[in-house]
Each structure stands twice: as structure tokens, then as C-alpha cells.
Amino acid sequence: MAALRYAGLDDTDSEDELPLGWEQRTTKDGWVYYANHTEEKTQWEHPKTGKRKRIAGDLPYGWEQETDENGQVYFVDHINKRTTYLDPRLAFTVDDNPTKPTTRQRYDGSTTAMEILQGRDFTGKVVVVTGANSGIGFETAKSFALHGAHVILACRNMTRANEAVSRILGEWHKAKVEAMTLDLAQLRSVQHFAQAFKAKNVPLHVLVCNAAAFALPWSLTKDGLETTFQVNHLGHFYLVQLLQDVLCRSAPARVVVVSSESHRFTDINDSSKNLDFSRLSPSKNDYWAMLAYNRSKLCNILFSNELHRRLSPRGVTSNAVHPGNMMYSSLHRHWWVYTLLFTLARPFTKSMISRFLVESGLS
């Protein structure tokens, strides 16, 4: 009761009084949730009234929100030099009980990432996003970081990756975000990344396989494989295999594979309906950039489906995501024709991150 009195919450009516064993908490976004210490569970609805609540207004003058080593939010009163785990604004909450709309009603082309993640608290969660220095990857990493997650940007170009980290920290200086080297075109780099990540001794709750190459001229990687196939599929396949034990130990965990609707416009089987390995990593004479991209995206779909079948019983789910038709990103940068096409289509494309969060099941 002393803590309640200090936060100004001791004078409550019987309707809002919590049952024994319950505690009221807030997220960084100002949403109220309730922790049941007896059953070790949390929920958004008040255990008595069934109402959802959110905080109204900013923190009082002299107060600051912090996060402890366990990821729990607490509040510092700098004027009186005291701390409390109770949000001082809890005395001024407002009800939030909208009728539950469908996903189609809730989100549209103008929806922002912050609107989709409103009320979500990823404090204590560890997220790895490949290709996170620009485009969908950057927006995904930023959104997770601004909602409390510890985010690792797994990128080939560390200069651009560090710039991306700085941009995120510029929006919230307390964001837990860092960059690590990962070059999917080199399987040894994938192995080194996995080893370095495991050395951190942290869990892995979300792995977003986002990095991709598009419209590349034909080339072979140092591993002797066609570049589009290795970067878009095989590198991620190997990464998931190396981190599979960490994902299972961190369950519930999720793998999100960014694919494309273009996977429908190709095939990887021969005339006998058997897998044709020569189509996965074609020779220069048999190479067409768009077809190579489509095949790599088909591999993404097949991989994600099989991964979910194998790991979901162990608490690890896998989702393949189509981020949106003609969505504007930096994938087109390797050929001027695609750059022109994407530029003309940009006014009609969806926000990079909003569609991704909806379809991956992370919202």
C-alpha cells in the first residue's frame, strides 16, 4: 500500500481494485496491462471489469521512465530522488474498449508501424534482422527497437549498419540496438555470425530473414554458387540451421522469411517433376535475373513451410511474408529499368513496414 500511496493510487473505488495477487503495469507506449503473480500470466483486460485502459498525458514534471536489468519499466522521481515501479499516471487512465475490428478494417496503406505495434511491449525480447541497414529491414529493426526489444542488425556493410544504428538511437537514445557482420554471399561469414551471436549467451525470440538481392548480373559467390540463390535462400537456410538450437531454447520464438508473390511464376522441377538442382544455381548461359529471383523466393516459401512443420512442436513458428505488390524498397538499385518502374509506382505502394508486420503475425 505504501507504493500505491506514493504513486497516488491508494484512493481507488471497489470496481477498479485488483484482486489479491494481481499487479497493474504499463508498457512504454502507455498501455496498461495486468500481471497475475499466482498463475504467472499477463493480460490486457482488467480482471474485474474486463476493460482495457491506457495512460492519459505525459509523465509529471521531474519524472522519467527507465528499464531495469530484467527489462521491467520503472519510474524515477528526480525531484524527490525516489523510484517506483508504478506509473504515476495510473490515477489518470482512460478506458479503451473499441469493438474488435478485422485486420482488413484496422490496417490500410496509410497505417504506420507505430500504429500497428501500439500497445506491444517487446522488452526482454531479442530480435535479429538481416539486411537491416535500409528498406524493410531497417524499418523492422527500428520498430522493434522503439518498442523495447534488443535488436541486432545483421548486415554485410558495417559502415551503413552503424549509420542505421545511429539513426535508431537518434529516435530513442535508450534503444538496445547493435550491428553485427553477416555476409550471406559467404557461408563462412554466416558461420562466424552464428558463433559470435552464441557467444553473447542471449536468447533469440525473433529471426527476420529479410536480406535479398534482385536483378543482379550473373556471378558466383566464393562458395561457387549463383549469387541470387545463395543470398536470398541458401545463406538464410544455413543461418537458421546454425541458430536452431538457440531458437528452440528461447521458445516461444519465431522465424520470419521475407518472400514474394513472384514465387508463383516459376518452377524448380524438371519435366519429370523432380527437383532440378541446375535451376537453383544456373550457369551463365541459363541465367535470367528475374527468374533467379523468383526461384529463390519459391525456395523461401518451401523452406519456411517445412521449418514450421518441424519446429512448431518445439515452440518455434515460421512465417513466410509477401511484403506487398510493387512495394518501394532498395531492391531495384542494380538495374535502371527497375529503378524507373519502382519510382513511378512509389505513390501507389504500401508503407514498407506496415504490411510486413501484419502478414508476419508480429502485430
Amino acid at 204: L
What pLDDT shows up at residue 339?
54
Backbone dihedral region for residue 292 (phi beyond 0: left; psi -120 to 50: alpha; all else: beta): alpha
Residue 85 bears catalytic tag: no
Delimit the domains of the chain by residue range: 22-95, 113-266+277-345
Q: Which of 6, 293, 328, 338 is catalytic?
A: 293
Domain 113-266+277-345 has what CATH class? alpha beta
Q: Residue 347 gets which letter from DSSP?
A: G
List, for residues 79-89, the tens digit of each pLDDT value.
Answer: 788 888 888 88
How far, in Å, CA of 330 to CA of 347, rounded?
15
Phi, psi (rounded to 5 degrees) for 184 = -70, -15
- Counting residues of the chain whose pLDDT is more than 90, the rounded percentage is 42
The CA-to-CA distance between both ends of the chain, in Å, stands at 36
Highest mean pLDDT among 54-58, 127-131, 284-288: 127-131
Q: How many angstroms separate the CA atoms of 320 and 307, rounded?
A: 10
Cell of 325: 505488390
Give the three-state DSSP class for 256.
strand
**Apex 30 CA angle, 122 and 125, nearest 5:** 5
pLDDT of residue 101: 46
User: Which CATH number, 3.20.20.80, 2.20.70.10, 1.10.10.10, 3.40.630.30, labels domain 22-95?
Assistant: 2.20.70.10
Average pLDDT (183-198) is 98
**Global pTM value:** 0.66
What residues form DSSP beta bridges with 43? 34
d(CA 94, CA 55): 7
pLDDT score of 209 = 97
The residue-averaged pLDDT of 249-268 equals 82
The cell for 333 is 538499385
**What is the rounded CA–CA span in Å between residue 132 and residue 139?**
8
Q: What is the mean pLDDT of residues 285-307?
A: 91
Q: What is the pLDDT of residue 289?
A: 87
Contact 256, 247 (CB under 8 A): no
d(Cα 361, Cα 71) in Å, to the nearest integer? 23
Cis ω on the peptide bond leading into residue 101 (within 30° of 0)?
no
